[in-house]
Structure 1
Amino acid sequence: MLTGRLIIIGLGNIGMTLVRTLSRDFRLVCVDVNEKTLQAVRKLWGESVETYQGDATSRLVLQKVGISPADTVAITTSSEEINLEVARVLHQHFPEVRTIGIGITQAGIQEMASLGIEVEGIFAASATGMRNRLEHRSKTVHGIGIGKNEILEVEVSPSSRLANKPLGWLRPKSWRFGLIYRDGNIVVPSKSVVLKPRDKVVILGEPRVLKTVAERLSSSLSDFPLDYGDTGLILVGDRETPAFFSEIAYLASTLPLRRLILAVAEGTEIPELLLQLIADKDPVTVEISRTAAPLEVVRSTLDQRSCSLGLCVMSPGLLFKRFSAARAKRQLLDIFAQADCPVLLATGSHPYEKIAVPCLDQHASHNALESAMDIAADMYSTIEALLALPSKYISTEKEGDDYSLLKKNVSDVALAYRSSIRRVELTGNPIHSFSQALDGYNLQVNEISTANGGSLLHRIFYPDVPWSIVRRARPSALLIPAIEEVL
């Protein structure tokens, strides 16, 4: 463990993820030119973090930070020019301090090394690797395959969000558990086995998938939607609005998807600005879709390509203008079954500064809240849980107990993520009150299940409240596939 302070310079993707995954035992200092980013750090760490706004290539700024030989400096900006200049200043004026930096080109890596910097190459660098180096720990992930990392051994971190979850909850796809070592014993994996902190697990599967799974097991890294896959499928209809394309660009620049597939309705033109904004996704594939039926597009994409979908995006019109409410939900559930990934109905209500989670069922709201937390971590969003306050005149004792459990569930999730979730209590008909309240948010997150099916008469007397809210509310809706509850 460090004896001095840890000073992180540059809070980009790696820097911010490092901030979120570090142990609170660190004496953390953050330096960045962006005050909004520093505010996000203070929100995460509270009064225990020191923050300085300024250009770290300036010796005066570094002197203001008060760097001492006992400190460790991590240079994590995405600009090699800035990283090198900071490294030069540190080498000249603070030669005794331990410095770790991100190198991008081979020449940059060599120059950093010549300055006495411990260098992590950008293509191999990760927040997990940086954290392990800082904590003087060995790597938590060890490849034990035939040099190809098709088999990995991972120690489950106590801070991992997958710890204390049943294996059935984790939805292995393109990978699987081999063995679990716990307290010197072997535990045979099954859906009901709960993953425990400090378990050593052997996982098998596709190398690119295993890397993400290993990071999720060994740290508190979120990176939604990589739990599901690394490819985004964008369904583009023939009547999309500029706001829809703007939201696609926002998602492409914010989410850590490694690949994008744009399935475009015949005759539709993609704005040049959008193509420029997403050009860094390698590769970006633009396909002509001969059908606008969402399920058929998803099926053909999965049939023709070897990819793991992490997110499927479409406008609400592709569902609700083509199908009745019941058939639209059936299409959505079929997409969940085919792709096993969330679906975003994009209305153009970005950026996602305020996220709402309608809480109507304890199990479903727990999963939706966790997904919202993962998204908020990358987008610096605030989260509010919407709850339907039971009527004091006609509610039953069970409804009162369920409501108390819902409130406790919100508090438990907030505590687990070391963040805050504001509870908003609504009265009246849940469909109407929730739909009206959602007008003040940029994104709603819902788990959608197979419940509330049946005949037309059954649906009239027992309406599907979550689905009705999704159809009526104005903001974009992130729909999470239901996770089977493992007993």
Structure 2
Amino acid sequence: MNKKRKVMICGVGPVTHELLKRLGGRWEVTLVGGDASALERAHALCGSELITVEGDPSSPVVLEQAGLADQQYVAALSEDDAVNLAVAQAARQAGVAQVLVVYYEAAGRESFQELGVEALLASAALAREVNHFLEDPTLTVTRLGLGRGVVMELQAQDLPHLMGRRVDSVRGEKWRLVGLFRSQELVLPEPHTRIQSGDHLLLLGPPDTCEEVCSRLDCGLPGFPLSWGQTLLVVLNPKDPDEHEGLMNEAMAWAMDSRVNDTIILCREGQCDLQAQINEWPAACSVRVEPVASGLLEKARELCRQGEVGLVVLGKFEPSLLESLAKSALMNLAESLGAPLVLAGGTAPYQKILVPFNGRACSLAALEVAAEVAGQTGGEVSLAMVEEPEFVRGEDSAPWLEQVRATAREQAHALKLTFQEVLLQGNPVRRISELSGEYDLMVVGGSSRGRGLLSPNVGEHLAEKAGCTVLVVAKED
């Protein structure tokens, strides 16, 4: 039977209580503190296995009577640096081998270093946690080695530009990618192992590496539309060739602001004289022109099915009256493409971005995309929330509106996005359509489901009536 290890803990604050919850049956714990009620609570937490000593932990006499010389470990965890320093000095004089101290004022660091004890600056640890969250809420950081190192965890899906990269290329001067969780199993990768979608990345580095990692990997920067694919597909669908130049200019703006690697331009045979505009295309993005005899949209669907297209740009899509009554033609098109769809309105660059928002899955997806686009273009985002009349909703709309606003703020916090609220009343399609003329881009979430004469697809009508460029993000509610 293994002999229990002896530890003396001095101080009965919150840190001590959290530590006691984690110490198992392999420890014989002596707790020293001057607060009798706090000692009683600690004893109730741990039971008879805990030895409590009431007294001033900075007193050598109290520590001696508590059995300091018999301890293998001492942890000075009071909220007073002077007390913790006195405990550390007494433990060193008593010959305790392992001494750990928490301190709160950085100026006291030198005194603890002179004693040769392990010292953790509590305020620095908390500040690091806050900083990690502010740098990127998706970055999970776990401290190692008494705070001397950290493991950082990232989802590959949040870093689409890393897809296909070799593991040995994901590194900095002081940090490395050391492991992957793939298909729920831990993989210790070889240098040639390539990152795949769905991988969970484990990076190892010093405690203040978070900012450098995020800067190098762009973990807090937008990746749109790379999570869908690294190819921009431009469909020159207007029958009048004179309209192609404006469409190409807007498509080129997307190529410049995003990180797509390739551009494919679909054009009707005999209408593919585009070299002058292609010469202006970003050098980092290759361009391929494909003449199509007929069926531009079907060819677009075929290319999207191959899984490389991240964004489709085409002219305004106008379904016939029959299509409009029978089904959601625009949303069906967006869903069949499987990638976000831009209906070019000639309003680039996108400095003012509007998102119709009702708190449902479609609008949440639109807000996420809008945040990424704003990060790329430097634009500002406004959320339009429309309060319908009570006789339309059939209930008081005030609780609904407050819930939607709370959802928007929570999502914006996760995305590190600052946005403006635009509160409207009336018919959502009419009011938002009128407002859209004041913006450069409207990001609309929608789905083809639930379409009918009495339940019109709001997202589709908004896209059709908008006075600016529209980015459609198809997602089921």
**What's the offset of the Cα at 1:382?**
0.2
Q: 2:264 aligns with which of 233, 240, 261?
A: 261
Q: What's the C-alpha RMSD, in Å, of the aligned pairs? A: 3.7
Aligned to 2:194: 149
- 1:139 maps to which of 171, 177, 180: 177
Contact 2:353–2:443 (Cα < 8 Å) also in 1: yes
- Given that 2:380 and 2:419 are in contact with CA atoms closer than 8 Å, whether structure 1 keeps it comes out as yes
State how far apart, in whole Å, the 2-side matches of 1:328 and 1:257 are: 32
CA-CA distance at 1:23 after TM superposition: 8.9
Aligned-pair distance for 1:268? 1.1
In 2, Cα distance between equivalents of 1:473 and 1:334: 18
- After superposition, what is the alpha-carbon deviation per residue over 1:293-341, rounded to whole angstroms, capped at 9, x for unaligned? 41x12233357xx551101111014x4479843578336424523x421
CA distance in 1, matches of 2:262, 2:179: 25
C-alpha contact (below 8 Å) 1:431/1:468 kept by paired residues: yes
Deviations 1:16-61 (A, max 9, x none): xxxxxx99749x9xxxxxxxxxxxx9xx9xxxxxxxxxxxxxxxxx
Q: Distance in 2 between matches of 1:287 and 1:222?
A: 29
Match in the other structure for 1:466: 459
Q: Which residue is equivalent to 1:64?
A: none
2-side partners of 1:395 and 1:328: how far apart? 24
Alignment partner, residue 402 of structure 2: 404
Q: 1:480 aligns with which of 468, 473, 476?
A: 473
Quote the Cα distance in structure 2 between the aligned partners of 1:453 and 1:155: 41
**Distance of aligned partners of 1:378 and 1:367 in 2 relative to their CA distance in 1, 3 Å threshold:** same
Q: Which residue of 2 aligns with 1:444?
A: 442
2:352 matches 1:354: yes
Q: Return the letter of the residue paired with 1:137.
A: W
**Aligned twin of 1:340:** 338
Structure 2 counterpart SS, 1:419 = coil
Mark the CA change 1:417 to 1:392 in structure 2 (over 3 Å): closer, same or farther. Answer: same
* Equivalent residues in 2 for 1:149-228, closer than 5 Å: 149=194, 154-155=200-201, 219-228=219-228
Q: Which structure 2 residues correspond to residues 381-420 of structure 1 after superposition, within 5 A?
A: 381-391=379-389, 396-397=394-395, 399-420=397-418
What's 1:284 paired with?
287
Instruction: State the distance in 1 between where 2:348 and 2:189 align.
Output: 43
| Shift in Å, 1:395 | 5.2
Cα gap change, 1:331 to 1:381, in 2 (>3 Å): closer
What SS does the aligned partner of 1:426 have? strand
> C-alpha separation between the residues in 2 aligned to 1:140 and 1:323?
57
1:387 deviates by: 0.8
1:299 matched residue in structure 2: 301
- The aligned residue for residue 376 of structure 1 is 374
The equivalent of 1:108 in structure 2 is none
Q: Report percent identity of matched pairs.
A: 19
SS at structure 2 position matched to 1:299: helix
Q: How far 1:396 moved relative to its partner?
A: 4.2
User: Hey, what's the Cα distance between the residues in 2 that align with 1:234 and 1:285?
Assistant: 10
Question: 1:282: how far off?
Answer: 4.6
Hey, what's the Cα distance between the residues in 1 that align with 2:179 and 2:220?
Answer: 14
Cα distance change of structure 1 residues 323 and 479 upon mapping to structure 2, 3 Å threshold: farther
Task: Name the CA distance, whole Å, in 2 between partners of 1:392 and 1:140.
Answer: 57
Q: Does 1:430 align with 2:421?
A: no
Cα distance change, pair 390–453 in 1 and its aligned pair in 2 (3 A): closer
Q: Greater CA radius of gyration, 1 or 2?
A: 2
**How far is 1:445 from its partner?**
0.5
Task: Provide closer, same or farther for how the CA distance between residues 258 and 437 of structure 1 changes in structure 2, counting only shifts above 3 A.
Answer: same
For each residue in 1:356-387, what CA deviation from the matched residue of structure 2 results, as whole angstroms up to 9, or x when unmatched? 00113522211111110011111101000001
CA contact (8 A) 2:385 2:422 kept: yes
Contact 1:298 1:335 in 2 (8 A): no
Structure 1 residues without counterparts, runs of 5 or longer:
4-21, 29-40, 45-123, 158-214
CA 1:330–1:270: 2 relative to 1, 3 Å: same
Matched-pair contact (CA < 8 Å) for 1:231–1:307: no
Structure 1 residues 270 and 279, CA, compared in 2 at 3 Å: closer, same or farther? Answer: farther
Deviation at 1:223, TM superposition (A): 1.2
TM-score by length of structure 2 reads 0.55
**Structure 2 matches for 1:63-78, cutoff 5 A?**
none
Distance 1:148 1:326 in 2: 52
Residue number in structure 1 paired with 2:312: 312
TM-score, reference length from structure 1: 0.54
Q: Which residue type is aligned with residue 192 of structure 2?
A: G
Count of paired positions = 298
Partner of 1:185: none
Q: CA deviation at 1:272?
A: 3.4
Retained in 1: the 8 A contact 2:443–2:470?
yes
The answer as to whether partners of 1:230 and 1:259 remain within 8 angstroms in 2 is yes
Equivalent residue letter for 1:300: E
Partners of 2:395 and 2:445 in 1: CA distance: 26
3-state SS of 1:280 partner: coil
Distance of 2:294 and 2:326 partners within structure 1: 17
Does residue 330 (structure 1) correspond to residue 329 (structure 2)? The answer is yes
Counterparts of 1:222 and 1:380, CA distance in 2: 11
Q: CA 1:323–1:241 in 2, change beyond 3 Å: closer, same or farther?
A: farther
Contact residue 362 and residue 405 of structure 1 kept, 8 A: no
